[in-house]
């Protein structure tokens, strides 16, 4: 058996690491500045819930608006509320020329299951490599989970941002903006 003083250092470090973990998880990572209104929308490629590539620039060019929203984790309460808000307003959004893409750090299987469970009629992107999250400058939590946020793009330019990522009223917030958009 090792002397007590030999165990104290490693044991103390493990205890401190366990105690610090909740604090680290609560602190977002600001690797790159988040996009703001007037910034050019990133021309990035992601992987859809069907495992297929999607070029965001192609989506931007096909619709009047593109809503790209980020959420931390599929099938969690806030993320489900946000996705279902957009699902419930989807007909109104598409009627205004809005394409919708939801993005999280989840893998393809998780995104597919989330989409099927809640009947989400729009594309979800599995951004396990953080290419999309990083290109938008979305803050992340340890482990790569994106901070909830939303960006509305028109003509390849960001015209609306929601850095808090409205949950139950996300679709209505976008529709309200579009109603006031004079451009």
Among the listed residues 148, 147, 146, 150, the one whose alpha carbon sits nearest the alpha carbon of residue 177 = 150
In the three-class reduction of DSSP (H, G, I as helix; E, B as strand; rest coil), residue 132 is classed as helix
Token look-up 């988040």 returns 34
CA geometry: angle 53, 93, 66, nearest 5 deg: 40
Extended beta strands in 8-131, E state: 45-47, 53-55, 65-70, 98-104, 123-126
As a whole number of angstroms, the distance between CA 82 and CA 167 comes to 4
Pairing of strands 53-55, 157-162: unpaired
Token look-up 């529709």 returns 175
Q: Which residues are known to be catalytic?
A: 79
> What is the DSSP secondary structure assignment for residue 146, as one 8-state letter?
B
The answer to whether the CB of 123 falls within 8 A of the CB of 83 is no
Where residue 57 falls (left for φ over 0; alpha for ψ -120 to 50; beta otherwise) is alpha
């Amino acid at each position: 058996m090792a002397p007590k003083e030999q165990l104290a250092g490693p044991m103390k470090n493990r205890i401190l690491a366990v105690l610090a973990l909740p604090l680290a998880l609560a602190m977002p990572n600001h690797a790159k500045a988040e996009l703001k209104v007037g910034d050019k929308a990133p021309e990035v490629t992601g992987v859809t819930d069907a495992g297929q590539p999607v070029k965001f620039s192609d989506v931007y060019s096909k619709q009047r608006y593109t809503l790209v929203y980020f959420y931390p984790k599929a099938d969690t309460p806030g993320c489900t509320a946000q996705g279902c808000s957009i699902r419930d307003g989807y007909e109104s959004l598409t009627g205004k020329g809005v394409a919708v893409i939801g993005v999280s750090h989840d893998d393809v299987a998780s995104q597919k299951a989330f989409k099927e469970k809640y009947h989400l009629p729009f594309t979800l992107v599995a951004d396990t490599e953080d290419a999309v999250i990083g290109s938008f400058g979305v803050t992340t939590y340890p482990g790569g989970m994106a901070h909830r946020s939303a960006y509305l793009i028109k003509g390849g330019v960001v015209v609306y941002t929601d850095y808090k990522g409205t949950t139950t009223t996300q679709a209505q917030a976008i529709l309200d903006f579009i109603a006031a958009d004079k451009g």
